[in-house]
Amino acid sequence: MLINNIEQGYILTPDHTKTPFLPEHFDPNYWQQQNAIVGTKEGRATAWFFRHNNQISVLKHYWRGGMVGKLLSDQYLFQGLKSTRVYKEFLLLCELEQRGLPVPSPVAAKISTSYCIYRGDLITAAITGATSLCEVLQTREITLNQLNKIAQTIAQFHRAGVYHADLNINNILFNEAGEVYLIDFDRGELRTPSHSWQKHNMDRLRRSFYKEAGKWPTFYFTDNNWEQLNLAYKQALAR
Ligand SMILES: Nc1ncnc2c1ncn2[C@@H]1O[C@H](COP(=O)(O)OP(=O)(O)O)[C@@H](O)[C@H]1O
Ligand SMILES: [Mg+2]
């Protein structure tokens, strides 16, 4: 990972990056002016999809969630570059990609500092034709084959010691070839594999199915689907 000092902060890129990233590249208005925006997606915040260097990338600003979020918006306490959530997520993505795990390729990140606060932005390569598990379930029931793929992918991360702080059905994507990716590694980390945090991840995932089921007019998910997923996961983990 390369660290580039800018006037008020830092820009991070992977080692193999050829063209530099500039501060304005982290501003959605810049890409709008270039006519490069090809889509947006509303998560907790807007994800901006833009065309740059012959690829589609996704720009995401870091926002605080929950009650605190309403007061503090996008500002975080700065306690050194390596303690920032942006730095940690970017470094983790670089490591996971190197290990061949299915994550979006890290492209660049920016940490903007001002006195003792920072703001963060992350750019990753877009997963082509991505559909989240949550989106799939709004239109049809998931196949056993897809359930198995999801289970195997989560087990692959867990065997590698990857703790995902927010494993939920919006952070599990299928690309156009039907391959499974995990995204959104904010506050994720490498840990010694252990049943307790792995179960914590799976419990969170299970809750997300039921939470989203209550949100959408149609949602094709059954208790049986969860049992199948969890069984396939346990089998894959033990392999
Ligand atoms: N690399 C990517 N490729 C395709 N879609 C993405 C990518 N990164 C994010 N998205 C989409 O944007 C949404 C929000 O991004 P995410 O990183 O999960 O942020 P958050 O959950 O904090 O809003 C995701 O649910 C996904 O639909
Ligand atoms: Mg997310």
Q: Kindly state if the Cβ of 164 falls inside 6 Å of ligand 1.
A: no
Confidence of residue 44 (pLDDT cuts 50, 70, 90): confident
Indicate whether 27 and 138 sit together in one domain.
no
Partner residues linked to 182 by β-bridges = 172
Question: Are 79 and 23 part of one and the same domain?
Answer: yes
Report pLDDT digits (tens) over 201-235: 999 999 999 999 999 999 999 999 999 999 999 99
Q: Indicate the residue among 73, 101, 125 that finishes a domain.
A: 125
Task: Provide the number of structural domains found in the chain.
Answer: 2
User: Is residue 103 domain-shared with residue 120, that is, in the same domain?
Assistant: yes
Specify the range with the lowest mean pLDDT, choosing from 38-52, 86-100, 120-134. 38-52
Looking at the structure, tell me whether residues 23 and 107 fall in a common domain. yes
Do 107 and 9 belong together in one domain?
yes
- Residue 183 shares a structural domain with residue 211: yes
Same domain, 18 and 103: yes
Name the residue of 37, 50, 52, 58 whose CB sits within 8 Å of the most ligand 1 atoms, as the mutation to test its pocket: 58
Domain enclosing residue 21, as ranges:
2-125
Ligand 1 pocket check: which of 184, 186, 204, 208 to mutate, most ligand atoms within 8 Å of Cβ?
A: 184
Residues with a catalytic annotation lie at 166
Domain boundary residue, one of 125, 147, 175: 125
Kindly state if the Cβ of 155 falls inside 6 Å of ligand 1: no
Which backbone phi and psi does 85 adopt, to 5 degrees? -65, -35
Name which of 26, 34, 158, 151 is nearest 86 in CA terms.
26
